[in-house]
């Protein structure tokens, strides 16, 4: 089977179901313990204009699309820098549909407690893509920029990054996410009051909901994490022992498939099923 890599499709079950999207969807959970071969053909296709490109920018774009698309602007990863209200958005229609919409500020337990932002429609996929074992919405806002301001306030107390090596070595222990939320809300109370004074009380509202918990299809975690790349090794081959976040965990290393969005690969699977304990020593 062959096709251009897209972000793996996930379904929140116990454990999470993962699907590799090529010509057809491949249910990867069925291949745990099997030997897989992923071969990059050498082709990369821009996910926007669909033209071939020699190099991928911003997870699957050619340079021309990366340079012109509003979805590739710096403010997408730093939403507090949104400049829509200044009239300088690269694509105001896109900004209206993407940025000027309600967002959620959340905390997640992936490689420790972190803060993040997303649209409610992206949940729980956003949390699963980060390899979170727990997640809890904290504040609802009216725009992406406002979510960025709240996130900045939270970042003074917790990280906004996932330490991917730690995330792949084991599931973090379960914590009382409600207590974590309450402590953080006390820490950022002054900053939240300032934002409400600027945007209105209704624009920044706390959320009361339950913690979501996630389990991943992992037979055994590695003790050492070795990253693999199609750019360095066009053929990635090994026994699949786990899937977490957007990573495939093999006996020989791990690969972040989302990093190679737009790369054309072929997929092949062996019939024999290996044992986890004997193979994981190869990490």
Which pTM value belongs to this model? 0.91
Pairing of strands 263-273, 34-44: antiparallel
Spatial distance between the Cα atoms of 138 and 208, rounded to a whole number of angstroms? 7
Shared-domain flag, residues 206 and 221: no
Query: Helices (H) and strands (E) in the chain — how many of each?
Result: 9, 14
In a domain, 42, yes or no: yes
Residue 269 is part of which domain span? 2-59+217-280
Main-chain phi, psi angles of 250, to 5 degrees? -105, 170
C-alpha torsion 143→148→153→156, nearest 10? 160
**What pLDDT is attached to residue 223?**
87
Q: Which two tokens stand for residue 89?
A: 């958005």
Structural domain ending residue among the three candidates 163, 181, 213: 213
Structural domain ending residue among the three candidates 191, 213, 235: 213
Spatial distance between the Cα atoms of 20 and 228, rounded to a whole number of angstroms? 17
In a domain, 67, yes or no: no
Q: How many CB atoms within 10 Å of residue 209?
A: 11
- Quick check: 242 and 216 in contact, CB under 8 A? yes
**What pLDDT is attached to residue 7?**
94
pLDDT, tens digit (0-9, with 9 covering 90-100), for 255-269: 999 999 999 999 999
**What pLDDT is attached to residue 277?**
44
- Quick check: 195 and 146 in contact, CB under 8 A? yes
In a domain, 64, yes or no: no
Of 236, 283, 226, 225, the closest CA to residue 260 belongs to 236
With residue 179 as reference, give the H or E element that holds it: helix 177-187
Structural domain ending residue among the three candidates 213, 242, 267: 213
pLDDT average, residue stretch 67-88: 94
Shared-domain flag, residues 143 and 26: no
Tell me: pLDDT of 11 over 50. yes
In a domain, 240, yes or no: yes
Shared-domain flag, residues 110 and 24: no
Shared-domain flag, residues 208 and 230: no
Q: What is the percentage of the chain residues whose pLDDT exceeds 90? A: 90
Shared-domain flag, residues 138 and 260: no
Shared-domain flag, residues 43 and 96: no
pLDDT average, residue stretch 44-62: 95
CA 160 vs CA 152, 157, 262: distances in Å: 9, 10, 26
Q: How confident is the model at residue 270 (pLDDT cuts 50, 70, 90)?
A: confident
Tell me: pLDDT of 159 over 50. yes
Tell me what the pLDDT averaged over the chain comes to. 94
In a domain, 190, yes or no: yes
In a domain, 97, yes or no: yes
Shared-domain flag, residues 239 and 180: no
**What pLDDT is attached to residue 172?**
82
Shared-domain flag, residues 197 and 237: no
Please give the tally of structural domains in the chain: 2
pLDDT average, residue stretch 176-204: 97
Shared-domain flag, residues 117 and 231: no
In a domain, 181, yes or no: yes
Shared-domain flag, residues 55 and 89: no
In a domain, 255, yes or no: yes
pLDDT average, residue stretch 10-39: 96
Q: Which residues of 155-192 are buried (b: 16+ CB within 10 A; e: fewer)?
A: eeeeeeebebeebbbebbeeeebeebbeebeeebeebb
SS3 content of the chain, % helix, strand, coil (to 5): 30, 30, 35
pLDDT, tens digit (0-9, with 9 covering 90-100), for 96-109: 999 999 999 999 99
Q: How confident is the model at residue 180 (pLDDT cuts 50, 70, 90)?
A: very high
CA 83 vs CA 67, 79, 119: distances in Å: 16, 9, 19
With residue 4 as reference, give the H or E element that holds it: strand 2-4
- Quick check: 50 and 36 in contact, CB under 8 A? no
């Amino acid at each position: 089977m062959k096709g251009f890599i897209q972000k793996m499709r996930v379904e929140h079950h116990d454990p999470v179901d993962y699907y590799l999207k090529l010509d057809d969807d491949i249910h990867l959970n069925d291949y745990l313990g099997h030997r897989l071969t992923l071969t990059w053909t050498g082709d990369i296709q821009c996910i926007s204009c669909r033209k071939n490109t020699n190099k991928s920018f911003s997870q699957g774009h050619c340079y021309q699309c990366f340079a012109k698309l509003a979805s590739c602007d710096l403010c997408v990863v730093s939403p507090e820098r949104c400049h829509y209200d200044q009239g300088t958005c690269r694509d105001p229609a896109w900004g209206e549909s993407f940025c000027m919409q309600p967002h959620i500020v959340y905390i997640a337990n992936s490689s420790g407690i972190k803060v993040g932002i997303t649209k409610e429609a992206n949940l729980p996929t956003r949390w699963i893509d980060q390899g979170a074992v727990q997640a809890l919405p904290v504040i609802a806002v009216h725009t992406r920029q406002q979510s960025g301001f709240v996130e900045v306030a939270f970042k003074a107390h917790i990280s906004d990054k996932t330490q991917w090596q730690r995330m792949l070595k084991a599931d973090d222990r379960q914590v009382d996410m409600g207590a974590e939320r309450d402590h953080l809300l006390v820490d950022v109370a002054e900053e939240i009051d300032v934002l409400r004074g600027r945007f209105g009380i209704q624009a920044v509202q706390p959320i009361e909901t339950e913690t979501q918990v996630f389990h991943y299809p992992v037979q055994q975690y590695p003790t050492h994490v070795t990253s693999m790349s199609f750019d360095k090794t066009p053929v990635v081959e090994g026994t699949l022992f786990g899937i977490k976040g957007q990573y495939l965990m093999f006996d020989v290393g791990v690969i972040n498939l989302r990093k190679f969005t737009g790369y054309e690969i072929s997929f092949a699977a062996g019939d024999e099923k290996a044992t986890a304990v004997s193979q994981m020593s190869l990490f």
